[in-house]
Chains A and B, each alone.
Chain A
Amino acid sequence: MTPKYASCMATAFRSFTTITDMHFLLEPFAYDFMLRAFAAGILTAIIAPMIGIFLVTRRYSFMADTLAHVSLAGIAVGTLTGIHPIFAALGASAIAALAVEQLRSAKRVLGESALALFLSGGLALASVLLSLAKGNNVNLGSLLFGSITTVSVTDVTYVFALGVVVLVVILILYRQLFSISFDEELSLASGLNVGTINRILVLLAAVTVSLTMRIVGVLLVGALMIIPVVAAMQWKLSFLRTLLLAIAISLFSVVTGLLLSFYAGTASGGTIVLVAIACFLVGLGFNRR
């Protein structure tokens, strides 16, 4: 073999391995279901911590989980009645969100007790209704843990339409939400309409939950809204920077989690949340004091 021939062979081999690597890396994007999952995932990754930061800072982290469990009951109703799962989940979680807020603000029940009441109630109702809907081909596994293969074009459309609404409302109410999260009594005394803004926040949380659950599943919705925020808070930054970092962590978790779940064949929701927890641990490790 002449040196010139050997050199050509080596170049050709390197090109081949590069093409194979590229093919390996680009493979997820060759599937329509993955593109849909990325599209829906990226938007939910942006809005989930935007709501989450206002829930975490007012010690309301379990609101997202509660609404997710109530959403499951909504989906069960949707399965029985033929309503689209996103809207069925949205309807149920919106009603629950307003009811929890009403019980809390009227001081009839402690905030956390109201959440526990609706979390258990939602799950109980869902289990009864899903047992009635057994013949309707309900995939409980994908509902609970999320499944990227089940995200349809219609889902992506709804996620975008509702997601943009959530985004715009948060941007408009950002100052009011910040003020109320910091101190509700002070905000009330400053003349802010605390009751209405609180109701809007829980409704936005309900919308976000119903969108996010398609990607990460009912059991992990709360995680995507809360963990990136808690991870970002470890870096002790201003409120705005904490929010921006939380969005970055959430985006990183969703994109990395979706890719990992594609290659490893694992549940998308669980993989995304584990990546987010890894980000939290990194933040905790760097900021130990």
Chain B
Amino acid sequence: MTKQELAIDVQHVNFSYNSENVLDDVTLAVEPGAYLGLLGPNGGGKTTLMKIILGLIEPENGSIKIFGKTPQDARREGKIGYVPQRIAQGDSSFPATVEEIVRSGRTPIIGIGGLFRQSDANAVEEALHAAGVHHLRHRLVGQLSGGERQKVFIARALASRPKILILDEPTTGVDIGAKEAFYTLLKELNTKHGITIVFISHDLEVVTKHATCAACLNQKIVVHCSEHAFLHDPEVRKLYGDSFSFVHHDH
């Protein structure tokens, strides 16, 4: 039996912007079924690494594989679901229902001029249920609260039946109650549906409370799947030393 492929395999990636080093020899291996929180200060390279994983920008060197494929191929096959930043505050005048938005998650799979078939309708139904927004499907997306909108975008990402869900600061603009419910939903998608989850956050508490593994990125990366090891890592202490007193969770 061959060794199980990594969900995300980033090897020795470097990236600089305007001759400033953003990512310095970053290596990250994410096992299938992992729930990883990616932490780091603003400008630490979190969003850049995520864009490289999504295949939206090319690194200067190094390699990226998503279940053994290039990010572009994985994206085209719908293997990666992506939920961008600041979705909660989006355009409230856009005339579309929740169902139309979630259906648009099937667009890359249906292709140009393709028909929306029964299998597509089934995937949309499943995604609406899994994200807990089935009852909102006829509502206009502009009329939803920040937390509801965020769930709609999860449903949209799930419509392509992805193996990995990548979320960039997913709870920006979402109130505290909805935030908790949101991370519970992510946990459920991870454990029940076996989806590998990677979310970016700048909030140490959120990462250590919800994720089963945590990574800290500040040009260089450190990854730990034990909360104790993570919080005592010198790189993490350097950045978040003062926050320690607030973080006590039981995994």
Contact = CB atoms under 8 A, between A and B. Distances in A.
Nearest to B156: A186
B246 interface: no
B95 A239 contact: yes
Q: Choose among A181, A185, A239 the residue with the greatest number of B CB atoms under 10 Å from its CB.
A: A239
Interface in A221-260: 232-233, 236-240, 242
Q: Choose among B84, B90, B112 the residue with the greatest number of A CB atoms under 10 Å from its CB.
A: B112
B94 interface: yes
Nearest to A186: B84
B117 to A, nearest CB: 13
A234 to B, nearest CB: 10
Interface in A59-75: none
A182 interface: yes
A190 B108 contact: yes
Interface residues of B, number: 31
A179 interface: yes
B172 to A, nearest CB: 15
Interface string A176-192: 10110111011111111
B132 to A, nearest CB: 20
A183 B100 CA distance: 13
A186 B93 CA distance: 18
B112 A172 contact: yes
Chain A facing B: main interface SS: helix
B109 to A, nearest CB: 9
Interface in A18-45: none
A190 B77 CA distance: 9
Given A190-B107, A191-B108, A192-B108, A238 B101 contact: no
Contacts of B97: 238-239
A189 B168 CA distance: 12
A185 B56 CA distance: 10
Interface residue range, chain A = 20 to 34
B103 to A, nearest CB: 8
A175 interface: yes
B105 interface: yes
A83 interface: no
A183 B140 CA distance: 16
Contact of B104 (A172, A173, A178, A233): A178
A239 B102 CA distance: 13
Given A185-B84, A239-B95, A178 B100 contact: yes
B15 interface: no
A29 to B, nearest CB: 36
Nearest to A185: B84
Contact of B95 (A173, A187, A192, A238): A238
B56 A233 contact: no
Contacts of B100: 178, 238-240
A236 B113 contact: no
Interface in A142-184: 172-173, 175-176, 178-179, 181-183
B6 to A, nearest CB: 20
A182 B101 contact: yes
A173 B104 CA distance: 12
Given A175-B110, A238-B97, A239-B100, 17 more contacts: A172-B112, A173-B113, A175-B116, A178-B100, A178-B104, A181-B94, A185-B84, A186-B84, A188-B56, A189-B75, A190-B160, A191-B78, A191-B108, A192-B108, A232-B95, A233-B95, A238-B95
Q: Which 5 A-B pairs have the closest CB atoms?
A: A191-B75, A189-B82, A172-B113, A242-B95, A191-B108
Interface of A: 57, 172-173, 175-176, 178-179, 181-183, 185-192, 232-233, 236-240, 242
